[in-house]
């Protein structure tokens, strides 16, 4: 058995404080926090000069390539509080036939524990909840985040309550329950679930683990950006297409790139960040096109891509800021294009995308047609979960072994 020292060795930590993402107000590290005083997400800050002195890039490169190799850029202080189910560095998979370019790579997050990129954020948030003494958590979910929370919280004996919209896929509900959480369907959208969680948190019944309402999910999700930099030899791709609901991963990657530049590991060049939404629930797209800093709630949200069915995101201004600073855009795609992209990628390239991943491929195809991207550019599409969790078309063809079989027709 190979021992992963990323999980077992004590390493220096460099968190200095937390900071309001809107006002810059400082908050003490190593204390339990939710949102800032003005109701905005808190960002974890590090002594990056000290990290640079303590962690040569060669040392980082020599470590096993899992999420926890980045310990010096993560918030967990004590090794004993690390929680892990095997968070690998996810592969970059080319899809030349369905994308129409050999330069398009899918970062396949479905290989992570619980089958989605929600494992990145929730493993970090749960580890920090353990470190800070939290014993009871509640969270709204469209499915995959609840599954990740249930798995990690169960692993370290934190009681968990999960509320999900009534249209959440059945496989997600059963997965959450099977992994130890109490899960309830709610006749509403995810922000309606979040309102119930918020009421319980205000009454002291549990700690609110809603997206961006605790500071540490961003830190787990930023490892996507750290990994990309390492996988691309410390030169970032030209564009990133990211399925955007709450947008934690997009915000986290943008933070990761800033930290890597301050370490001197990458230059000032940045990918164009494309926030991809379904046209049936596109508050970020609407705000981007209107030049707004915040996104109004999207009424009557509906899409096959449940993971991006988020009518209102608390980090809306951070998403929009990253998209605009990068020279990217917020793009919406319809459900028919999403489903066609999923089908094409599976049948032409052998990679089964989830609907949210299909949205990034559909958006890339549209962007290629419009000239927004060039086929020579290096582009990364995020597939945020395994397609095995989602409904697939029926396949009912059969052979009767007792009858006449026309083998030429098979």
Alpha carbon distances (Å) from 123 to 47, 116, 120, 137, 319: 23, 12, 6, 14, 22
The pair of structure tokens assigned to 248 is: 């934690």
Q: Which residues lie below 8 Å from residue 408, measured CB to CB, with a gap of 6+?
A: none
Q: What is the pLDDT of residue 3?
A: 87
Alpha carbon distances (Å) from 307 to 30, 98, 311, 327, 350: 31, 22, 11, 25, 22
Q: Are 385 and 144 in contact (CB under 8 A)?
A: yes
Q: What is the pLDDT of residue 375?
A: 95
SS3 label, residue 358: helix
Q: What is the pLDDT of residue 330?
A: 98
Q: Which domains does the chain have, with CATH numbers?
A: 5-68 (no CATH), 92-115+216-389 (3.40.50.1100), 118-208 (3.40.50.1100)
In terms of C-beta density within 10 A (0-12 exposed, 13-18 middle, 19 or more buried), how is residue 179 classed? buried
Q: What is the pLDDT of residue 2?
A: 76
Q: Which residues pair with 331 in a beta bridge?
A: 276
Alpha carbon distances (Å) from 51 to 73, 132, 230: 8, 23, 17
Cβ atoms within 10 A of the Cβ of 163, count? 25
Taking the C-alpha atoms of residue 249 and residue 178, their distance in angstroms, rounded to an integer, is 26
Strands 15-20 and 42-46 come out as antiparallel
Of 125, 144, 145, the C-alpha closest to 215 is 125
Q: What is the pLDDT of residue 315?
A: 93
Opening angle at CA 383, ends 381 and 385, nearest 5? 170
- DSSP tag of 246: S
Q: Which residues lie below 8 Å from residue 65, measured CB to CB, with a gap of 6+?
A: 88, 89, 227, 230
Taking the C-alpha atoms of residue 77 and residue 74, their distance in angstroms, rounded to an integer, is 8
Alpha carbon distances (Å) from 268 to 250, 256, 320, 326: 18, 12, 20, 11
Of 385, 391, 70, the C-alpha closest to 220 is 70
The pair of structure tokens assigned to 25 is: 């107000």
Alpha carbon distances (Å) from 272 to 51, 245, 325, 380: 27, 18, 9, 10
Q: What is the pLDDT of residue 241?
A: 98
Of 196, 144, 189, 153, the C-alpha closest to 171 is 144
Backbone angles phi, psi at 357, to 5 degrees: -65, -40
Of 20, 77, 51, 17, the C-alpha closest to 259 is 51
In terms of C-beta density within 10 A (0-12 exposed, 13-18 middle, 19 or more buried), how is residue 98 classed? buried
Cβ atoms within 10 A of the Cβ of 358, count? 32
Q: Which residues pair with 88 in a beta bridge?
A: 66
pLDDT, block means (10 residues), the chain with 410 residues = 91 98 97 96 98 97 97 98 98 98 97 97 98 97 95 97 94 95 96 96 96 95 98 98 96 98 98 98 98 96 93 94 98 98 98 98 98 97 95 92 94
Taking the C-alpha atoms of residue 69 and residue 326, their distance in angstroms, rounded to an integer, is 27
Strands 92-94 and 104-108 come out as antiparallel
What is the length of the chain? Answer: 410
């Amino acid at each position: 058995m190979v021992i992963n020292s990323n999980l077992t060795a004590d390493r220096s930590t460099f968190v200095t404080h937390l900071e309001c993402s809107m006002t810059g107000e400082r908050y003490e590290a190593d204390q339990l926090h939710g949102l800032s005083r003005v109701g905005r997400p808190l960002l974890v800050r590090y002594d990056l000069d000290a990290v640079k002195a303590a962690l040569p890039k060669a040392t980082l490169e020599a470590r096993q390539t899992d999420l926890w190799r980045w310990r010096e850029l993560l918030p967990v202080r004590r090794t004993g509080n690390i929680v892990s189910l095997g968070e690998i560095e996810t592969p970059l998979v080319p899809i030349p036939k369905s994308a129409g370019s050999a330069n398009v790579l899918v970062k396949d997050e479905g290989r992570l524990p619980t089958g989605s990129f929600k494992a990145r954020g929730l493993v970090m948030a749960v580890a920090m909840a353990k470190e800070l003494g939290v014993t009871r958590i509640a969270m709204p979910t469209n499915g995959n985040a609840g599954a990740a929370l249930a798995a990690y919280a169960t692993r370290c004996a934190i009681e968990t309550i999960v509320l999900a919209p009534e249209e959440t896929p059945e496989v997600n509900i059963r997965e959450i329950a099977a992994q130890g959480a109490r899960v309830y369907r709610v006749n509403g959208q995810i922000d309606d679930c979040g309102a119930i969680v918020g009421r319980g948190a205000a009454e002291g019944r549990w700690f609110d683990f809603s997206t961006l309402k605790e500071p540490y999910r961003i830190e787990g999700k930023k490892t996507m950006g750290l990994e990309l930099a390492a996988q691309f030899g410390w030169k970032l791709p030209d564009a990133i297409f990211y399925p955007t609901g709450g947008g934690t991963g997009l915000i986290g990657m943008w933070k990761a790139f800033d930290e890597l530049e301050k370490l001197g590991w990458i230059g000032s060049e940045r990918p164009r960040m494309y926030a991809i939404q379904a046209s049936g629930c596109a508050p970020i797209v609407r705000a981007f096109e209107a030049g707004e800093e915040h996104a109004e709630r999207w009424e009557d949200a509906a899409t096959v891509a449940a993971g991006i069915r988020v009518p209102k995101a608390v980090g809306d201004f951070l998403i929009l800021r990253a998209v605009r600073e990068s020279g990217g855009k917020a793009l919406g795609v319809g459900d028919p294009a999403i489903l066609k992209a999923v089908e094409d990628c599976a049948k032409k390239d052998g990679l089964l995308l989830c609907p949210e991943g299909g949205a990034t491929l559909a958006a890339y195809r549209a962007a290629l047609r419009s000239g927004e991207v060039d086929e020579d550019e290096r582009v990364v599409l995020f597939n945020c979960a395994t397609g095995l969790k989602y409904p697939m078309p029926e396949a009912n063809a059969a052979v009767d072994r007792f009858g006449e079989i026309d083998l030429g027709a098979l």
